[in-house]
A and B are shown apart, each in its own frame.
Chain A
Amino acid sequence: MSTATKRGRAEAARQAKEALAAQERKRRALFAGAVAVVVLIVAGLIGWAVWAGQKDGGDSGATPPAAGFTAGTGPVAVDIYADFMCPACNQFEQQTGPTVDQLAAEGKITVTYHPIAILDRFSNGTQYSTRAAAASAAAAEGGKFVPYLKALYAQQPAEGTDGLSDDRLVEIGRSVGLGDEFAATVKDGTYRGWAKRTTDAASERGVTGTPTIYVAGQELKDRSPAGLQAAVAAANP
């Protein structure tokens, strides 16, 4: 056997070994890729499952009487979506709230308040928006929604604080004439599930910020008293 043939064999063996190693690297890379894809899919499924579980949990809880959130009996429907933690909502209430009350009292509009909770992340985990919306529902049940709303805005906590405690929410209720039943409803969190449902319903309708106001189904752009009056006049020929 010549040395040349020997060398050729050694070279062939080396190449075969390298090809095998390359194949092995490829196999491992494919395996890692498959693992990564599976991990991502499983993570997504976990997200779905967690969300579905939370949604079921949020659906428990009573629904307050719808009539409690309306004022006036006029022909033009005015819908106000607001979060009790939202400074712009408070500003709207201070600036245009009296005009809303007046239009309702004059029988020009039927105003429906939709307290929603989109700013829960601004109360250090105490979910003030949800608790305040739920408390306002309890006030609606007690027939004192509008006075309670005004009292809550008058004492609005700053974003990024814990918000008002449940005890404080009860005290404010007592100050507008609500009683023990209201206190129990607030402390039990009876309407917190409802607050989440009404928030989802608002989002579904296209409400992406607060305050959002609809006059006869049209979103109100100019939220000043004059803007509201003009929109109501235009909707009521």
Chain B
Amino acid sequence: MTKQRTAAWPALRPWLGTLVRLGLAAVWLAAGFAKVGDLAESGRAVNAYRVMPFAAAEVVGAVLPFVEIALGLLLLAGVAVRVTAGVSAALLLVFVAGIASAWARGLRIDCGCFGSGGDLAAGADPAYLTELARDGGFLLLAGFLLVWPRTRLSVDAWIQGDK
């Protein structure tokens, strides 16, 4: 049993890695495309965190969806997975810090993660815990790829001549 497992893991891992990579790619693409249609709205969602001046928040809000889409495409193709996973993890940590700080300061906002921005309707309660748990899950995906960046069906595998 144990022997079989240890034998199966090295063979399985690159394929599992492919799934993780595609999953994280889907997350970034969904997050990016949800925001890219209304950059002004994206800027307001960033401004709702009240951590930077409005002019800076506008720029961050405009740049973010494009970077997210680029990350998604790079992960989809599997280009420099360790680098893109590292950038993903860094970005996710920034998001987690932002949501946690909004929560700590008692702001009542939506994280704006997938496009619905800053404003919360009067009756709605912030879902900070859910948002943090979700980002934590995404962080696990990025962490997996940071540790094991070699995955099947990727540009990396192709240029490295992996089987």
Contacts and interface: CB of A to CB of B under 8 A. Distances in A.
Interface of A: 25, 28-29, 32-33, 35-37, 39-40, 42-44, 46-48, 50-51, 54-55, 58, 86-88, 91, 118-121, 196, 199-200, 203-204, 206, 208-211, 223
Q: Which of A33, A48, A203, A211 has the most CB of B within 10 A?
A: A203
A204 B80 CA distance: 39
A24 to B, nearest CB: 9
Nearest to A119: B119
B63 A47 contact: yes
Q: Is the interface of A mostly helix, strand, loop or mixed?
A: helix
B115 to A, nearest CB: 7
B109 interface: yes
Nearest to B121: A88
A41 to B, nearest CB: 9
Contacts, number: 121
B119 A48 contact: no
A210 B47 CA distance: 15
Contact of A120 (B38, B63, B83, B107): B38
Contacts of B160: 25, 28-29
Interface of B: 37-41, 43-44, 47-48, 50, 54, 58-59, 61-67, 69-71, 73-74, 79-80, 82-84, 87, 107-109, 115-123, 155-156, 159-161
B63 to A, nearest CB: 4
A191 to B, nearest CB: 16
Given A29-B160, A36-B74, A86 B67 contact: no
Contacts of B44: 118, 199-200, 203, 208
Nearest to A37: B83
A199 B66 CA distance: 23
B80 A36 contact: yes
Nearest to A122: B116
A205 B25 CA distance: 36
A32 B67 contact: no
A54 B117 CA distance: 19
B80 A29 contact: yes
30 contacts: A29-B156, A32-B156, A33-B80, A33-B83, A36-B79, A39-B70, A42-B70, A43-B66, A43-B67, A44-B63, A47-B39, A47-B66, A48-B62, A51-B39, A51-B43, A51-B61, A51-B63, A54-B39, A54-B40, A86-B121, A119-B119, A120-B38, A120-B41, A199-B44, A200-B44, A200-B54, A209-B118, A209-B120, A209-B121, A209-B122
Contacts of A25: 160-161
A40 B64 contact: no
